Amino acid sequence: MALEELIGSHKESSGPLRILSVGCGSGILDNQLIASVASSNRCFKYTGVDPNPVACQRFRESFEQLHLTNVELELKVQGIESLDINEPFDIIQLTHALYYFKDPADALEKLRRLLASNGKLVMVHAPNEHLNQLSECFWSHHVDHDIWFSSRLEEHLVQESINFTCRRLKGEIDVTQCFESGCEHGEELLDFITQNDCRESGVEVLERCLYFLKKISRIDGSSRKVEHPADIFVVV
Ligand SMILES: C[S@@+](CC[C@H](N)C(=O)[O-])C[C@H]1O[C@@H](n2cnc3c(N)ncnc32)[C@H](O)[C@@H]1O
């Protein structure tokens, strides 16, 4: 995983490595990352931040199942906007989180100030490819302002003369179940793709969504897949 490589290549600082994850969610990704970094026997402190208390609880429960002795975990149930940390971090990571923040530019400034010297801010972020045009249409949070997909983030970093690197990882998402009537997982996936409750949108809108999804998908055996690349931004 790209994040593991970046953390693995980070030069030892004195004391344990300090990692901050903002918008960590239920730890589906973060706990894999923690387990992988912990397997090198490196001691580190992992701080997760997310305003969703249920997600944070799930994060802790699955972390505890890992039984790691070289990791100290702290979870803060709060949004970036009210985050009140002053300690520096060696790695700060945001995975598919920036789009949810009220003021992404302000959040980035805040996080950059939390970087230790030699620290890295790593953002795994979606470009505005076909799939994300659905969220662009439906996501009410963004009704009066653009979603910060990769191009907007890049524009901001350039404008602010912030040094960064960016590389694209290919990826695909299996949307087969979105077309299976009554399939709960398929409905949840479509809600996630559109960032909208599609069951509330009415049959005509739902059909149009599915039509668009079909047009941008490819058939792979008995599955339907849509491209879902991610850009990895690293700010140093
Ligand atoms: C798509 S999820 C990504 C979760 C996790 N990073 C992952 O990749 O598995 C976005 C997360 O951002 C969180 N979030 C939303 N608004 C936020 C805010 N203002 N500050 C911090 N996190 C926020 C949500 O609660 C959600 O867990």
Each residue of 54-66: pLDDT tens digit?
999 999 999 999 9
- Segments in the chain below pLDDT 50: none
pLDDT of residue 150: 96
Tell me how far apart the alpha carbons of residues 99 and 165 are, in angstroms, rounded to a whole number: 19
Tell me how far apart the alpha carbons of residues 95 and 225 are, in angstroms, rounded to a whole number: 22
pLDDT of residue 1: 65
Q: How are beta strands 44-49 and 71-76 bridged, if at all?
A: parallel
Residue nearest to atom 16 of ligand 1 (CA): 100
pLDDT of residue 11: 64
**Residue 52 Cβ contacting ligand 1 at under 6 Å:** yes
Q: How far is the CA of 192 from the centre of ligand 1 (A)?
A: 13
Q: Which of 24, 76, 99 to mutate to test the pocket of ligand 1 (most atoms within 8 A of CB)?
A: 24
- Backbone phi and psi for residue 156, each to the nearest 5 degrees, phi listed first: -65, -45
Fold exhibited by the domain 2-125: Rossmann fold (3.40.50)
pLDDT (tens digit, 9 = 90+) per residue, 70-88? 999 999 999 999 999 999 9
**Residue 98 Cβ contacting ligand 1 at under 6 Å:** no
pLDDT of residue 220: 97
Residue nearest to atom 25 of ligand 1 (CA): 52
Residues 42 and 15: beta-carbon distance below 8 Å = no
* Type of residue found at 58: R
> Domain locations in the chain?
2-125, 173-226
